[in-house]
Amino acid sequence: MTKNITTILAAALLGGSSLCAAAQNPDAKFDSWPAYDGTDLEMTVGPEGTRFTLWSPEAQAARVFIYPTDRNTAAIDTLEMHRGDRGTWRAGVAEPLYGKFYTFSIKHNGKWLAETPGVWAKAVGTNGQRAAIIDFDATDPDGWAEDRGPVLDHITDAVLYEMHHRDFSIHPSSGIVHKGKFLALTEPGTTNDYGQATGIDHLKELGVTHVHILPSYDYNSVDEANLPANQYNWGYDPYNYNAPEGSYSTDPADPAARITEMKQMVKALHDAGIGVVMDVVYNHTANNDDSNFSLTAPGYYYRHRPDGTYSDASGCGNETASDRQQMSDYIVNSVKYWADEYHIDGFRFDLMAIHDTETMNRVAAELKKINPSIFVYGEGWTAGDSPLAPERRALKENVSKMEGIAVFSDDIRDAVKGHYSNAADRGFATGKPGNEETVKIGIVAATAHPQVDYSKGNNSKFPYATSPEMIINYVSCHDDLMLTDKLAHSMPEADEAARQRAARLAQTIVFTSQGTPFMWTGEEIFRNKKGVHNSYKSPDSINAIDWNLKHANADQFNYYRELIALRKAHPAFRMTSAEDIAKNLVFDDTKDTPNLLSYSIKNNANGDSAKEIKVIFNGADEAREVKVPKGDWTVVAEDGTIKAEGLSKAQGGKMTVAPVSALILMR
């Protein structure tokens, strides 16, 4: 979901005027609704019985239906709810109803609305239609009480690997038994046809610190009752925010299975030293009037236009209203729940700028209380205009108003490889001049630097980050053409080897830049998606990773692995303050040479063992001569090869940087 209109929004922001100062506000009435911050929404169960608490201030009546199974059965009991405090409705029975299912229905404007599992269902059956009453303690895998994710002092120490459960394991070459399931990531020892590691062993070999899993809450599109149909979806169509997706479990009809199996996945990754970041999509729901939000508190959770229609900053038909107390609390409590119950180590917020900065600050602060290693980042843009004033939006340009929140850098993304939606456009790493200053913005993580001229930035005109911990660097993700396909489109004359070389340079820029590096699954073995830029519901033939490419593109994999090792071995690439970057990172004067950038990181920056690291990028299709100070240098990257521990020695002086490559030296 990255329709990036930051430029438009930035203009509105800098102009200081709201894009849509409404003459009237159809949502004004919601401000007077009482919020309910109790922890007992919507069902609690224990020896003392089963209690239901639904927040629905405007309902005229409310009911709970109790069912024996997850679908296709009649209710065995109906409980009339009575008004409670602060907009709630309550009902209860003396028995713990373990094994049963339930739904709510409210009377609104004289009509009973369709049944809903509510907005706080933590366990659900097939297609999430009925909420389930289960014993959560029984869902914990062995050793869960001792389970811990990796300890992280700074987000900049993370190496993020974005992946989709099905892409990662569904291809026959994965050698994985539980293809397309949470359990795929619990299987050690899996290999491709050439005996090379796949699955979780591959992640360990690659060296990434965190997987960022595409939406894994219960989403709407894939029919869990018909899994043999092999439907595919990224999952940006939220249905139940607080229960895992059923199609990733071995039995969607068993509410405990999806919970236990997701926990097993988290534990297996944690045991491998890898953290788990969840992609969360609180900015919109799959349905409008039929969403669980609409069926419990009609209107409240969404923003509307002056004519009463749904506003649509998500581009998906609606947008939620984090600026309203109960929705803000909902987002905060939902991520807290995932962190507590599932030991999630980080959260990636889809279209984060639909949310207000105050809510995002609460999210980060509350998560840090649970686990100081948890981090939060998101898309600092919207996909359309919103009634929320631009200065309140969690925009990229507002990241410095937030604490503990990072945003994706579209600056480095587009400058390195070319424009994200213009397939033919090239960037710095593919020979197009004019992007040098924007790449420099990426290198310094959008912080203020005396040698970076923001007036020449393509996407940003001011240093919007006050710390490198506010920036996620990337050139490719699930959205738009992945790097492999982008290179095929923009370099039609180049052969596969030349495109792989460009990919190496592009990722070397990302992984040596200040901020936090992020990559998309399978790029390390140069997989592609057959040129499909929006593969959100494309079949496996487009999205699945063919793991035999690890054999065909072994050199590419080795390059990525060494590149990650280089970053992890050198804290100089991971400075934690803007002041340190301004002081220690010094650019050489290359302004007269297009597609050439050169800089040093000096002073054993951030405790690095190297006194000085020299980094030179040549995005031109011809060799460049550069002057490196005389000294005893260790070459770690040269001419499309890289080795963290060093390739060779050099004495400096006049050196050649091969076409489309990085030269990195240390002393």
Residues with active-site annotation = 350, 379
Using CB positions, name the residue nearest to Ca ion: 218
User: In the complex, what is the shortest distance from the CB of residue 216 to Ca ion, in angstroms, rounded to a whole number?
Assistant: 10
Structure-token pair, residue 579: 């002041």
User: In the complex, what is the shortest distance from the CB of residue 409 to Ca ion, in angstroms, rounded to a whole number?
Assistant: 32
Q: If residue 77 lies in a helix (H) or strand (E), which one and from where to where?
A: strand 77-80
Q: Strands 111-112 and 77-80: what pairing? A: unpaired
Per-position b or e across 51-71, b if 16+ CB within 10 A of its CB: ebbbbbbebeebbbbbbeebe
User: In the complex, what is the shortest distance from the CB of residue 245 to Ca ion, in angstroms, rounded to a whole number?
Assistant: 5
Which is closer to Ca ion, CB of 245 or CB of 356? 245
Which is closer to Ca ion, CB of 292 or CB of 311? 292
User: In the complex, what is the shortest distance from the CB of residue 220 to Ca ion, in angstroms, rounded to a whole number?
Assistant: 6
C-alpha to C-alpha distance for 8 and 395, rounded to whole angstroms: 12
**Are the C-beta atoms of 376 and 367 separated by less than 8 Å?**
yes
Structure-token pair, residue 41: 């929404």
* Binding stretches for Ca ion (CB under 5 A): 218, 245-246
Identify which of 320, 394, 314, 319 has the alpha carbon closest to the alpha carbon of residue 352. 394
Across-strand partners of 53? 42, 90
Identify which of 446, 429, 430 has the alpha carbon closest to the alpha carbon of residue 438. 446
Which is closer to Ca ion, CB of 295 or CB of 519? 295
User: Which residue is it, tokens 């240093």?
Assistant: 463
C-alpha to C-alpha distance for 243 and 127, rounded to whole angstroms: 11
Identify which of 169, 198, 188, 182 has the alpha carbon closest to the alpha carbon of residue 141. 182
SS (H, E, C) 620-656: CCCCEEEEECCCCEEEEEECCEECCCCCEEECCEEEE
User: Which residue is it, tokens 């949470």?
Assistant: 182
**Secondary structure class of 234 (helix, strand, coil):** coil
Which is closer to Ca ion, CB of 117 or CB of 390? 117
Phi first, then psi: give them for residue 640, nearest 5 degrees. Answer: 80, 10
Which is closer to Ca ion, CB of 180 or CB of 299? 180
**Secondary structure class of 651 (helix, strand, coil):** coil
Structure-token pair, residue 192: 């491709």
User: In the complex, what is the shortest distance from the CB of residue 323 to Ca ion, in angstroms, rounded to a whole number?
Assistant: 28
Q: How many CB atoms lie within 10 A of CB 428?
A: 31
Which is closer to Ca ion, CB of 232 or CB of 377? 232
User: In the complex, what is the shortest distance from the CB of residue 225 to Ca ion, in angstroms, rounded to a whole number?
Assistant: 10
Sequence letter at residue 636: V
**Are the C-beta atoms of 449 and 436 separated by less than 8 Å?**
no
User: In the complex, what is the shortest distance from the CB of residue 69 to Ca ion, in angstroms, rounded to a whole number?
Assistant: 17
**Are the C-beta atoms of 232 and 540 separated by less than 8 Å?**
yes
User: In the complex, what is the shortest distance from the CB of residue 292 to Ca ion, in angstroms, rounded to a whole number?
Assistant: 12
**Are the C-beta atoms of 155 and 277 separated by less than 8 Å?**
no
Which is closer to Ca ion, CB of 247 or CB of 528? 247
Which is closer to Ca ion, CB of 218 or CB of 329? 218
